[in-house]
Structure 1
Amino acid sequence: MVSIRTDLAVEAKEIYEEKNKGKIPGVEMNEFRDGFIKVTDVKIVSDEGEKIMGKPKGNYITMEIPELTGYDQEYMEDVSRVLAKAISPLIKLDDSMTAMVVGLGNWHVTPDALGPKVVEKLMITRHLKQLIPDSIDEGIRPVCAMAPGVLGLTGIETGEIIKAIVNKIKPNLIICIDALASRRLERINRTIQIGNTGISPGAGVGNKRMEISEKTLGIPVIAIGVPTVVDAATIANDTIDLVLDEMIKHAKTGGKFYDMLNQLDRNEKQRMIEEILNPYVGNLMVTPKDVDSVIDSVSKVISTGINIALQPALELKQINSYLN
């Protein structure tokens, strides 16, 4: 559809509508606020919408959150509860069914370590249900988790590892967590996307791997992602657009130079920037300098949200007591 890299459905919709000055057929959108969090529900309902968006038919829920700070525990728990509220309708399990959480990404690379860090903070109960069922609270669902690494570390496709484990332990649901790519700087580390169509690891940075979805695994797959990087060419393009907008705004009417600037095709400009940058920096992806602390905070928010959604019989205090 476009050359700008993004994993977010809401951005894919924005890009198309900016270019074509109209709504996408077969795509429905609903925006609302849950407390201080803006939630956007993008639903792809037709084959035409699927083709235009470049994403499978299904639901893509986007939460836009203010900047997270690790010391504001109450604030982070509020975000986790909104996340749990978005995930819960997608989890169709009874107490005997098993959920498997998969933390995708490379734990040696901070912007890509979101998935493994979430797994570290989860309430894992499958072994407790099997070994000491009388010693745990009633209504606790069996949950297991894994962080399979990436192809460059293991030499094995991530999807192949997950499929082998699914065939062995036969979970009823998979929740995948992965770092994503965004087209806008303001969404980096401040957006959470929840989808019910699975995920293709590495797609946002041009390393598309085996799809992890109900089609490939035979069970429902919920994908949770946070954009942690943005394409350098997109930053350059947006910066130039801001400069041009300011120049055009303050220009005298009738100037041929400013008329020419106003008529520039922004997608063509994006391709030109990529061609200029590639010989010098390659496919450079950029992340904020405070990514270490932010990933720690975001991973805690997501793990807490998943714990709440997977264990509805427990209060958050009880969940925390199991983790401690």
Structure 2
Amino acid sequence: MNIRTDLAIENKEMYDEENKGKGVEISGVEVDKKQFDENINVTNIKITDEHGSQVLNKPIGNYITIEVQGLVDEADVLKESLKEKVAKAVAEELKKLVQFHYKLKVLVIGLGNDKVTPDSLGPYTASKVKVTRQYFLIYEAEGDEEMSCVSGFIPGVMGTTGMETAELIRNAAEIAKPDVIIAIDALAARNIERISTTIQISDTGISPGAGTGNMRKELTKETIGSKVVAIGVPTVIDSRTLILDSLSGFLKDPVKAEKYIEENGQDMIVTSTDIDQIIKDFSDIIANAINITLHPGIYS
């Protein structure tokens, strides 16, 4: 079946299912799992060659998945404590891809549309990241021991700006001259439970609008000129994926069912009923993690 997902961990899970087992080894793919906390699990999938890339349908690189259980169900006081723990876990993994140094320059991009809730993760997260480039300009500082030179940019979407997002980001990068671009965006998942539990970090770039099915030009080191680290949270599920995956164990002829949906169904995006709270919680977590990573002398 043609199951749509932006998560490397779900591609690996589908490969395991198709091969009738869990943890099936794939040449060119390295998987490392660890538990950060009682409710927080981390899975690092490293694709090392073209064979691994083809099997998992992802570019060569690192895909780090942080999964947190109970965030939506916790009472407010306990939730804030858990959010802090998750932010530290995300920061610990992000530091492996973005290493702080005295002259580090970073451009943080909030991809998406803040007028459409499931697509608003990027703008809301970027607005909470501490931007510092203005201080470096005012004091003509080359670097700092406690904080990075951080620029922020929320480019909007082509439907409201009339301009290609990748072009806007390329121009912003020419001004900021970043060592690294951190791009935050909404993703699509296979499993509805991942919408309230999962964060993916990767160092292979990103296609703006991928989560909501409106893919634009890719943002990669080759297209932008700077290393691109993507942070995403699945906020939507393709309706066809939801139907086929939910009924996979009951369909006598999955191929025929998929063909029927393709010919008679409509392309729709499904999200959770509490997506507003999910966007708030995960934008808080990711922004906090970015601040911890880029400004170690201010945040801890």
Normalised by the length of structure 2, the TM-score is 0.90
3-state DSSP of counterpart to 2:218? coil
Indicate the residue corresponding to 2:26 in structure 1.
24
Shift of 1:312: 1.7
Residue 203 of structure 1 deviates from its aligned partner by 2.6
Q: CA RMSD in A?
A: 2.1
Deviation by residue 1:204-259 (Cα, 9 ceiling, x = unmatched): 443221111112122211100000001112222233235x3xxxxxxxxxxxxxxx
Offset of 1:133 from its aligned partner? 7.3
Find the counterpart in structure 2 of residue 258 from structure 1: none
Is the counterpart of residue 226 in structure 1 residue 217 in structure 2? no
The question of 1:42 aligning with 2:45 is answered yes
User: Is the Cα contact below 8 Å between 1:3 and 1:271 reproduced in 2?
Assistant: no
Q: For residue 65 of structure 1, what is the aligned residue in structure 2?
A: 68
Q: What is residue 145 of structure 1 aligned with on the other side?
A: 152
Q: Which whole-Å deviations, capped at 9, do the CAs of 1:166-197 have from their partners, x for residues lacking one?
A: 12221111000000000001111310000011
Alignment of 1:56-95 (within 5 A): 56-69=59-72, 71=77, 72-95=79-102
How far apart, CA to CA, are the structure 2 residues paired with 1:268 and 1:81? 46
- For residues 1-324 of structure 1, the aligned pairs below 5 Å read 3-21=2-20, 23-35=25-37, 36-69=39-72, 71=77, 72-132=79-139, 138-241=145-248, 244=250, 264=252, 266=254, 269-277=257-265, 282-316=266-300
Q: Does the aligned pair in 2 maintain the 1:5–1:204 contact within 8 Å?
A: no
Conserved 8 A contact 1:68-1:298: no
- Equivalent-residue separation in structure 1 for 2:65 and 2:189 (angstroms): 12
Count the aligned residue pairs: 291
Q: Distance in 2 between matches of 1:138 and 1:39?
A: 29
Distance in 2 between residues matched to 1:299 and 1:119, nearest whole Å? 8
User: Where in structure 1 are there 5+ consecutive unaligned residues?
Assistant: 245-260, 317-324
3-state SS in 2 of match to 1:203: coil
Amino acid in structure 1 at the alignment position of 2:264: I
More helix as a share of residues: 1
Q: Which has the larger radius of gyration?
A: 1
Cα separation, partners in 2 of 1:205 and 1:107, compared to 1, 3 Å: closer
SS at match of 1:156: coil
CA contact (8 A) 2:66 2:198 kept: yes
Cα distance in 2 between the residues matched to 1:169 and 1:209:
22
For the 8 Å contact 2:107–2:180, the answer to whether it is kept is: yes
Letter in 2 for 1:273: I
Distance 1:269 1:13, change over 3 A: farther
| Cα distance in 1 for residues equivalent to 2:65 and 2:129 | 22
Percent of counterpart pairs with the same letter? 42
Which secondary structure does the structure 1 equivalent of 2:155 belong to? strand
Gaps of 5+ in 2: none
**TM-score normalized by the length of structure 1:** 0.83
Report how far residue 267 of structure 1 moved.
5.3
- Which deviations, in whole Å up to 9, do the C-alpha atoms of 1:15-49 show, x marking residues without a partner? 23322445433112111111121111111111111
